[in-house]
């Protein structure tokens, strides 16, 4: 009987030792594996030659564009981050997080400028371009002080070198490129395309071409919506733009976006044109932008 008890004790002790050895081996193996990032916001980016993650001086701004930049079947994410290393400057960078097998890998940051007003990020529609990203934003003239709000519309075409993860500037060179200095509010009837807020919210018209805006020379404007007609007066000085005395017919339409659209007009305080022939409304407090074509 004693031999049986001793034998059982030896077996139990052996099992316990084996368990702890195996557990320790598994723990050490896990520690040896480099952890990967499953969230694109956890990737590490290179800003002015320095590797850093979001948090602290480097902040997520938004305007995400989800696109497969390297044609590997996995969606990558392009977005804007701000870097505030000290002083009064807030520098805006375009960055990309590549969705690799081992996790997200960050790119170099492309500097757009200091205290600019980002608008949208989209893919180039030029058939000659492949995975070229178009970044639209407003900046100041070189002669303007930093106290002036950004009012000059700019677009830059960027392509990411997958091997080096650095951005290169691509010549726009698309048919119909607009001469922005010659563009005016009254040059055409504008069709609402989108509204993008800086917190990532986006409003799109449910019906294309239904929401239109026409400016008259007598400082009045007229609007068509998915329900009523509307109008009012507008005031502009250089790039500032405000709408007032807005009125509309009073027909009820279920699921109408009319109220949202008219609120966008009321929240407008600046405007500019892009080289793509677009009219951009900058919303109050730099909260977002509205695009018309």
Is 174 inside a domain boundary?
no
Q: What's the pTM value of the predicted model, to 2 decimals?
A: 0.55
How many domains is the chain built from? 3
> What is the domain extent for residue 218?
180-292
* 177: confidence class by pLDDT, cuts 50, 70, 90: low
Tens of pLDDT, residues 69-79: 999 999 999 99
Decide if 261 is inside a domain. yes
Q: Residue 38 has what pLDDT?
A: 57
Determine the pLDDT at residue 33: 33
Question: What is the model's pLDDT at position 74?
Answer: 94
Q: Rounded CA gap, 221 and 248, in Å?
A: 12
Same domain for 56 and 148:
yes
Position with higher pLDDT, 10 vs 79: 79
Q: Are residues 45 and 164 in the same domain?
A: yes
Are residue 233 and residue 280 in the same domain, yes or no?
yes
Q: Are residues 185 and 71 in the same domain?
A: no
CATH number of the domain within which 221 lies: 2.40.128.270
Question: What is the mean predicted confidence (pLDDT) over 206-233?
Answer: 92
Structure confidence at residue 227 (pLDDT): 92
**What's the token pair of residue 58?**
């480097």
Structural tokens at position 283 = 């919303």
Q: Confirm whether 175 is domain-assigned.
A: no
Mean pLDDT over 66-92 rounds to: 93
Q: Which tokens sit at 293?
A: 């074509």
Residue 34: the pLDDT is 34
Q: Are residues 83 and 191 in the same domain?
A: no
Band (169; pLDDT cuts 50, 70, 90): confident
* Tens-place pLDDT, residues 179-214: 677 789 998 999 999 999 988 889 999 888 899 999
Share of the chain above pLDDT 70, in %: 84
Which of 169, 202, 233 is the last residue in one of the domains?
Answer: 169
What phi, psi does 18 have (nearest 5°)?
Answer: -60, -40
Do the domain assignments include residue 19?
yes
DSSP string, 9-68: HHHHHHHHHHHHHHHHHHHHHHHHSPP--SSGGGSEEEETTEEEESBTTEEEEEEEEEE-
């Amino acid at each position: 009987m004693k031999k049986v008890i001793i034998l059982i004790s030896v077996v139990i002790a052996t099992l316990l030792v084996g368990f702890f050895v195996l557990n320790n081996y598994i723990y050490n193996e896990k520690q040896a594996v480099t952890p990967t990032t499953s969230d694109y916001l956890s990737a590490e980016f290179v800003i002015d030659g320095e590797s850093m993650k979001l948090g602290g001086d480097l902040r997520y701004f938004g305007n995400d564009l989800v696109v497969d930049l390297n044609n590997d079947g996995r969606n990558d994410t392009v977005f804007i981050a701000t870097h505030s290393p000290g002083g009064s400057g807030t520098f805006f960078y375009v960055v990309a997080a590549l969705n690799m097998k081992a996790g997200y890998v960050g790119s170099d940051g492309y500097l757009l400028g200091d205290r600019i007003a980002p608008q949208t990020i989209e893919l180039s529609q030029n058939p000659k371009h492949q995975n070229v990203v178009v970044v639209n934003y407003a900046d100041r003239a070189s002669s303007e002080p930093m106290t002036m709000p950004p009012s000059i519309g700019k677009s830059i075409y960027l392509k990411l070198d997958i091997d080096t993860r650095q951005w290169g500037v691509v010549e726009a060179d698309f048919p119909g490129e607009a001469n922005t200095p010659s563009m005016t509010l009254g040059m055409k009837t504008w069709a609402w395309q989108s509204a993008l807020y800086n917190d990532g919210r986006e409003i799109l018209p449910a019906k294309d071409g239904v929401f239109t805006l026409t400016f008259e020379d007598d400082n009045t404007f007229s609007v068509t919506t998915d329900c009523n007609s509307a109008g009012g007066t507008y005031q502009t000085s250089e790039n500032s733009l405000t709408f007032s005395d807005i009125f509309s017919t009073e027909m009820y339409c279920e699921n109408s976006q009319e109220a949202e659209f008219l609120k966008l007009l009321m929240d407008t305080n600046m405007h500019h044109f892009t080289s793509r022939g677009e009219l951009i409304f900058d919303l109050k407090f730099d909260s977002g932008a509205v695009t018309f074509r």
